Structure 1
Amino acid sequence: MPVSELFARARAERPGHTALIDAEGPLTYDGLGALVDRAAGWLRRRGVRPGDRVVHAGPGDRTFLALMWAAFRAGAVFVPVHPDLTDDQLRHIVRDCGAGLAICRPAAGADARTAVEPARAAEEIRSADGEFADGGATTVEVADGAIALLIYTSGTTGRPKGVVCPHRQVLAAVRAIDARLGHRADDVVLCRLPLSFDYGLYQALLCAHAGATLVLADRGGDLALVRAIERHGVTVVPLVPSLARILTLLSGKLRGPAKVRLFTNTGARPSRAVTEELLAAFPGSVFASMYGMTECKRISVLDPALYADHPDSVGHVIPGDHVRITGPDGRTLPPGETGEIVVWGDTVMAGYWGVPLDRQDRYARRADGSLELRTGDRGRLGVDGLLYFAGRDDDLVKRRGVRVGLAEIEDAAERVPGVYAAVAPRPAAEDAPLLLAVQTALTAREVREALARHLDPARLPDRIVPLDALPLTANGKPDRAAVARLLAAPEAPEAPEAPEPLEAPEAPEAADAARPEAAGPGPAAVPGAAGPATGPGPGPVPDAPEAAAGAGTTDTTDTTAPLRNTHAPAGV
């Protein structure tokens, strides 16, 4: 079954139900379907054939959705890319995937077989009056293993790689996530995430699966977000930390009880204090913490009923997937022991585009021929099957001969009353000072005294720097590199050092990105992945400017909101 069937079924069963609400107004499933028909005919007229890669670097709006569903229906491979990436970044993606059609700026799409500017594509599709619809309604028969999506994600080498997402795995992820979250046909899902970000894109897939309504938030400001929740009767809100904080601060502006029943979150998590404030501000709502990454979409979901007793868990493994925890030698560890999280099962994607499997350090072939994903994340399984995330391998540093997780230090800081968020940039070397930036009104000494009750000397920062706000990426993820630059700058705020400094006071190098993806090599030419890799790319894609608002716009109000930096995998 192709992914396009999700929308086709919703259209057939609920033609008059509102499918989408965006800046242009509401659109029923039948109305959006008519736009999909035109987009499918337009793709055919542009020479798109089954298996062709269609790069879309335009706004995340109704045209984006129409082209996505149309590409699935045509048997093409949809490649969503944020329009704010530089021409160099876009050009690398266009070349790497061998795009048949690139909907992007002319300079970036020059290497595609055909390139069209986003505004022109939208105008042609919308103003066709049926010109392109003829012949567009046919769904091409595609194998379950055919590629539906290529989602480019960052790597530790700074080379964006396309994660190959076949129809089978995408549908498995949608069904497994929905089995845990329970989307309903009467749900109204507010999406303030970029649709080029897979956490945002899957909101559209989940809504189609349930026949629900998707609301794409525009950049009308934060108060407009609260008004949208009221006006449209929003029931489900996918969160990033900055959005969680905004909603807690503005909840007093609600003019009556809201209908929100479910908040979801993956990647960087709001602090426990912010989450509790949020649930109190929206009575009757619950919080579902999730864990995953683009390479397998989702791994676990915490049942909201378990959040109060297990707030640090990321839940049970989703249906169809399996997790084991391995030690340095690859041996499976028993419950309670911390090691690398390894996952296999229905949602594990087909590797990286055009990269031989034997050159990949994340995907490996199992005895039954399936792939397993070595996440590079550390965690443990409880005897009850609950999964706990403990940080990334590249978040580990060595101090005084002790392996220390930066996430552990940040978590301890965020447990200090009055600390809203914390980021510990990776030190430049083992003997370099460990710095900690905290968003708080407390003094550095007050934070240090509190931390000293919970952290041993090897984990206690050498210098603590209180800041009014911590920088975020536009996805709402912690911007470790920006924090490191801020702390290294000569004008960075000074704070008292430890009474007995552990290291010489030298500035650290810029830290790694919030979630470097598996950078090694990637599958032996994945079936259908004929496009050759072209060498190093321009830089990590997910942490390039991405809009916090829907419809592909950037809302700068999100860039100073507090966050909790527990785990921020790119595009989850």
Structure 2
Amino acid sequence: MFQVLNEAEVQENPALLSAAWNSGSSFILLPTPSPVTEEWLSKALALIPAEFAQGHFGILTSGSTGTPKLVIGSKSRTTLLARQIHARQELESVETAIVTLPLSYSYSLVNQWVWAHLHDRRIVQTRGLADPATLLTTFEEAKSSMLCMVGSMLPVLRRYVAAGRTFPEVIRLNFAGGPFPQAEMEWLHQVFPNARVYHNYGCTEALPRLTIRRADESPDAMVLGAPVEGAEFDVDEEGMLLFRSPYAASLVLDVEKATRIALSDWVPTGDRAEFLPNGRVRLLGRKSEVFKRHGEKISLSSLGETIQSIWNKGLAFYTETAADGETGHVLVLAPDADQASARTILLHLRQKYRRPFWPIRIENAETIPLSGNGKPDLAALKQQPRTLLWKQIL
């Protein structure tokens, strides 16, 4: 019923994706390598109602749970969203979309591939940070280009951009898929002097956009922009952010069940949030990144933003049960952090936060491994060697 494409095939032959999108039939785009087995995929596909065999597409995601799921959306509704993105990001002058993230990531697929396909613009697929030299050359050579990145890519990118090197042909720079890199704005304006920077927010179930704002509209990385036309937000009694959108996915599947999403349904984003007096939404962090320690609500996203104002390399957090029986967080820095770096960060945190907000440990790693969508891969991080720089005495 669904044609199955994998990313490696599309990389080798881009016409496959164009043909699948233009066809009336539905298709699924899987990452390469795929995190699911053929058996898992067969069971999930068997749950899709027959009415979705036409005019739809699917992508694989793990969301905030780590459990694989297929998200099925409407081609026509996603086309309307791509037109919204075009208007809100003022993309008429953009000639080229440079793809730095996998196309199986909804952010790249919609904001770049669908947009370029719809508006007849050039799309350049790259190996991203796996081949930084070629990537930077592409930044220089591709005319009037747009990038879609995640903030966790910037510490790695910094290592390869020589002082004084700039990329004036990049005129749109989009961030999504994680905390907005507010602390990097000065550097970004230096390196991409002609780029208009946008803070985007959404989730895979939104396919994928819910809000868009220019970066210079707010100095607070956690404040979202105005919703795309027709999208709405609500916050439930547990502080979880919900949305409904006319462009959202129609169906979400795992190997056990298929869940329909009606246009009137409120859908969880996986984030905690609050409404501001002006009606805008301020994020507090992912559900897994917000917890209480000694009665204080800890937001790892907010802490990360604070630390990045003085540490412009890689960082990540993971949580564990501390010796006092409460949940605590471990801060991992990369690369080349030492005890002096840890002391500087601790002094900065102590000036801004009480003791429950401090990490229970600070560690150094050679790298912060990233998942296919550019977010820190915590499972891989915990498996690699790390050096202890500081430990809180409880």
Indicate whether the TM-score tops 0.5: yes
Deviation for aligned residue 1:216: 1.2
- Tell me how far apart the structure 1 counterparts of residues 121 and 205 of structure 2 sit (CA, whole Å): 26
Please give the per-residue CA displacement for 1:243-298, whole angstroms capped at 9, x wherever unaligned: 43455444448877622111001112463333320221121212101111110111
Deviation for aligned residue 1:470: 2.3
CA gap 1:445/1:480 in 2 versus in 1, 3 angstroms: same
The residue aligned with 2:233 is: 323
The residue aligned with 1:481 is: 379
Q: How does 1:128-147 map to 2 (within 5 A)?
A: 146-147=54-55
Answering whether residue 321 of structure 2 is matched by residue 373 of structure 1, we say no
Letter of the structure 1 residue corresponding to residue 34 of structure 2: L
The residue aligned with 1:79 is: 28
Please give the per-residue CA displacement for 1:455-486, whole angstroms capped at 9, x wherever unaligned: 21221112222445322224321122233344
Q: How does 1:155-554 map to 2 (within 5 A)?
A: 158-184=66-92, 186-202=94-110, 203-218=112-127, 221-252=131-162, 258-269=168-179, 271-296=181-206, 297-307=208-218, 309-328=219-238, 339-353=239-253, 370-415=264-309, 417-428=310-321, 430-431=325-326, 433-439=328-334, 440=337, 442-486=340-384, 492-498=386-392, 501-502=393-394
Deviation for aligned residue 1:304: 3.9
CA gap 1:147/1:254 in 2 versus in 1, 3 angstroms: farther
- Tell me how far apart the structure 2 counterparts of residues 259 and 459 of structure 1 sit (CA, whole Å): 42
Answering whether residue 59 of structure 2 is matched by residue 148 of structure 1, we say no
Query: Contact 2:177/2:201 (CA < 8 Å) preserved in 1?
Result: yes
Letter of the structure 2 residue corresponding to residue 465 of structure 1: E
TM-score by length of 2: 0.85
Q: Which has the higher helix share?
A: 2
Deviation for aligned residue 1:182: 2.1
Count of aligned pairs between the two proteins: 385
Higher alpha-carbon Rg: 1
Deviation for aligned residue 1:236: 1.0
Greater relative contact order, per chain length (Cα 8 Å cut-off, separation 6+): 1
Comparing 218-227 and 74-83, the one that deviates more: 218-227
CA gap 1:389/1:64 in 2 versus in 1, 3 angstroms: farther
Secondary structure (helix, strand or coil) at the match of 1:424 reads: strand
- Tell me how far apart the structure 1 counterparts of residues 75 and 330 of structure 2 sit (CA, whole Å): 45
Deviation for aligned residue 1:346: 0.9
| Structure 2 portions without partners, runs of 5+ | none
Query: Contact 1:326/1:340 (CA < 8 Å) preserved in 2?
Result: yes
Query: Contact 1:222/1:246 (CA < 8 Å) preserved in 2?
Result: no
Deviation for aligned residue 1:239: 1.2
Please give the per-residue CA displacement for 1:96-148, whole angstroms capped at 9, x wherever unaligned: 21499xxxxxxxxxxxxxxxxxxxxxxxxxxxxxxxxxxxxxxxxxx999541
Q: CA RMSD in A?
A: 3.3
- Tell me how far apart the structure 1 counterparts of residues 96 and 288 of structure 2 sit (CA, whole Å): 38
Out of 39, 44, 50, the position equivalent to 1:96 is: 44
- Tell me how far apart the structure 2 counterparts of residues 218 and 463 of structure 1 sit (CA, whole Å): 34
CA gap 1:450/1:148 in 2 versus in 1, 3 angstroms: same
CA gap 1:473/1:156 in 2 versus in 1, 3 angstroms: closer
Query: Contact 1:184/1:211 (CA < 8 Å) preserved in 2?
Result: no
Please give the per-residue CA displacement for 1:184-210, whole angstroms capped at 9, x wherever unaligned: 265211112212222222211101222
- Tell me how far apart the structure 2 counterparts of residues 323 and 182 of structure 1 sit (CA, whole Å): 24
Secondary structure (helix, strand or coil) at the match of 1:348 reads: coil
Query: Contact 1:146/1:167 (CA < 8 Å) preserved in 2?
Result: no
Deviation for aligned residue 1:172: 2.8
